[in-house]
Structure 1
C-alpha cells in the first residue's frame, strides 16, 4: 500500500490519478556537465514523500546529495563531486576528491589509516568509492500495492597479480517512504585469498547537525578511537557550533552482538528533524563515529563496518583483518532513513 499525502492508495486507485508514476516518484538518469564532475552519470531518485537523493554510478554507486522536504540530509564536502580520474591514491590523497555525500563506501581491501604494505601503497579508505559501476540497471515496478524503485550495479576492484573483488549493490526504496535500503554482496572472483575491509561513511550535515543535536545509538559503551578523542572531554553525543581549528574525533560504539538490528541516529531537537542508520551487527560488528565540528568541515559520520577504521596494516598486525577465500561471498544489508517529526523521533528512540 502506498502512503501519500496522509492517505493510503492501492495500485489501481493511484494509477487512475496520474499518466506516469514519474509525476510522483521514480528515478531519472542524467549526466553532469560542469567542473570536475563533467561527464559522470547521476541517478536522481524521489519517493514522493519529500525524500530525494542522487546516486553516482561512476563513483561506486554511492549516494551524494540527499534531502527531505527541501532540508538537506547529507553533508557535501567543499570538493563537491569529482569524476574518478581525479582520485589520488596514497596517503591522504583520497581527501582531495572525497565528496562526502550521504554514503561513501570505504574498501574493499583497505579502509581507515593509510600506509605502505610491501610494495603496495595503501591510501586512506581504499579505492572502491572512486571506481565506476560496470553494469547499471534502473527498475520501477509495482509489487502488489507497493511501487518499488530499485537501482543495481556491479563494481570491480581488481589488480594484475592481486585481488579480484566484485561489489554487487542494490539500492531499494518504495513510493511514499522516507528510507532507503542498501543491499551489498561482495564476492572474491579470484583464485587467491584476499584481504577484505569495508566501512560505510554515512555523513550527516547541517541542519541535522547543529548545537541542538544529540546522537542516539544502541551502543553498550562508547570508547575514544583517536588521540584527539582521548585528550578531549569524551563527549560523543552532543555537538558544538562550527569551531575554528577543530580536529576530528573518533569514537567506537560497542554494539550488542546478539541483536538482529541495531541503530544510530542524529536528532536536531530544536527542529524535530533527524536521520538514522539501522543494520545487523552480525554482518557489521563494528561502528565508528566521526565527529568533525570544523568550519565548513562540519559533519558527523555514522560508520558501520566489518572493521574499525585502523587500516589494513594495523588490522593485520592486531589479528583483526578479514579475508575472503576464492569464491567466498559476504552479504550486507542496511537502511538509512529520515526522522521526519517528533512522532518519528520518539518511535526511533523506543527501538534503540
Structure 2
C-alpha cells in the first residue's frame, strides 16, 4: 500500500511538472509596465521543440499607426499577427511568407484608435481602421449605427476593437508540444454606463494549422447589463475568387435587406471583383452537433485551399454572412461572422431576442477556432463535417428580411 501511495505521489508530481509554463508580462496598465520591442523563441528558452516557434512584439511608427503594438506569433506553420492596441484583433495569418487569411482594405495602416472618431459620419467612424482578419464587434453593443430607444447614438460595431488592451501576457508551456497562449484584457468602462471586461485568449500549438480564441466577458458592475458580440472574420485573396464557395450548417437563412434578396439563391457562391456591387448580407440560424458545435467553411473555386471556422451555438447562436465582392481597390472581401446578434442596430434586435443580458458579476464565454485548409483533402474533410452536422435538417429560405428597414426610423 505504501508503495502504491508513493508511486501515485510521484505521478502527481510529474503531472504538476508537465503543466508548468513560462510567463511574460508585456504590458500592464495598472503597474505601468511595457517591455517595448521584445522577442522569445524556443531557442532562447532552451526548449528542443520539434517545430521551432517564436513570439515577437513590435511597436509601429509613421502615419496613423504611430504607437501601435503588434504581436507576431510564428508556430512554425502559421504566422499570426495580433494587434493589442486594437482590441487584440488579428490582422492577418501567413504561411510560408504569404498571407493566407486576411484581405486588402483601402485602409493600409494599422490605425491607432487615438486617430479614430467612432461617431464621425453618423456613427461610421469605425470604418477608418477596418482592415483586420478578425475583428471583435461589441461588447456593449454591435451592429449598424443608429439612435437607440433611449436616444443614444450607437456607433458601428461597438467600441472594443478600438480599445487598447490594458494588459498583455504570453505563456508558453514547458512540456511538449509547448502550447503558446496570448492573453489580453480589454475593458469597456464608462461612469454610470458600463463596466464590461473581456479577457481575450489566443491559443496555438507549434506545427499546427489551427488556432483558437477563448474569450471571457465579465460584467464587473453591480447592475445587470446588455451585451452583444460578433466575431467579424474576414477573408479575401487568395481564398476568395470567382467561384469560391461557403458552406455552413444552418436551419434558416434570410436576406438582411431588400438588396440582398437578389442574391439569396446564390448565397453560397461568389463573384469575382465586381464594380458597383453593394454589400450583400445574409442572416443564418446555425445548427450544431450534440454538443452544440457548429462549422462554416469557405474554400476557393477548385477546393484546394480554404478556412474552417468552428464555434458553439449555445454561446454564439446566429451567423452573419457578409459578401462584399466589390473591386480589389475598394475591398474585395467576405465575412463569416458568428455572434449573439446579427448586424442590425441594437434596437431592432431586441424584439428578435438577440440582445442578451449579463448579470452583475456574471461571466460569459466564447470559443472560436480557425483551421487553415491546405489542400483538397483537408477542404473535403471540413465540408463533409459541415454536411454531417447538417444531417437531414433542411435549410429554410425566408424571402423577406427579419427587419423591415424601409419602415425603420
Deviations 1:172-200 (A, max 9, x none): 00001011110000000011221100001
* 8 Å CA contact retained: 1:209, 1:299: yes
| Residues 1:52 and 2:79 aligned together | yes
Looking at structure 2, the residues matched to 213 and 139 of structure 1 have their Cα atoms a distance apart, in angstroms, of 37
Deviation of 1:319 (Å): 4.1
TM normalised by structure 1 equals: 0.90
Coordinate RMSD, CA, aligned: 2.0
Query: Which has a greater percent of strand?
Result: 1
Q: 1:233 Cα shift? A: 5.1
Aligned to 1:24: 52
The answer on whether the counterparts of 2:246 and 2:268 sit within 8 Å (CA) in structure 1 is yes
Superposed, 1:71-110 pairs within 5 Å as 71-80=99-108, 81-90=110-119, 91-99=123-131, 101-110=132-141
Match of 2:228 in 1: 197
* Closer, same or farther: CA 163–71 of 1 in aligned 2, 3 Å: closer
- The 3-state SS of whatever aligns with 1:346 is helix
Quick one: distance in 1 between partners of 2:310 and 2:353? 27
Is the 8 Å Cα contact of residues 187 and 330 (structure 1) preserved in structure 2? yes
Greater Cα radius of gyration, structure 1 or 2 = 2
Q: How far has the Cα of 1:305 moved from its partner?
A: 0.4
* Alignment-derived partner of residue 326 in structure 2: 294
- Mark the CA change 1:29 to 1:219 in structure 2 (over 3 Å): closer, same or farther: same
In structure 1, C-alpha distance between the alignment counterparts of 2:182 and 2:64, rounded to whole Å:
24
Structure 1 position 349, deviation (Å): 1.5
- Indicate the residue corresponding to 2:339 in structure 1: 305
Q: Is the 8 A contact 1:109 1:312 kept in 2?
A: no
Between the two proteins, the alignment pairs up a number of residues equal to 334
CA distance in 1 between partners of 2:99 and 2:145 (Å): 35
Q: Is the 8 A contact 1:259 1:280 kept in 2?
A: no
The structure where helix makes up a greater share of residues is: 2
Alignment partner of 1:153 is 2:217 = no
Partner in structure 2 of residue 263 of structure 1 = 295
Q: Give 3-state SS (helix, strand or coil) of 1:210's partner.
A: coil
Pairs within 5 Å for 1:137-286 = 137-143=169-175, 145-232=176-263, 234-257=265-288, 259-260=290-291, 261-270=293-302, 272-286=304-318
CA distance in 1, matches of 2:318, 2:303: 30
Find the aligned partners of 1:313 and 1:278 in 2 and give their Cα distance: 28
Unaligned segments of structure 1, at least 5 residues: 1-14
- Asked if 1:127 is matched to 2:127, the reply is no
Moved more, 72-81 or 280-289: 72-81
Partner of 2:355: 321
Superposition TM-score, scaled by structure 2 size: 0.78
Q: Secondary structure at the match of 2:179?
A: strand
> 2:228·2:341 contact (CA, 8 Å) conserved in 1?
yes
Secondary structure of 1:29 counterpart: strand
> How far is 1:72 from its partner?
2.7
Pair 1:48–1:21, CA change in 2 (3 A):
farther
| Mapped pair 1:344 → 2:378 | yes
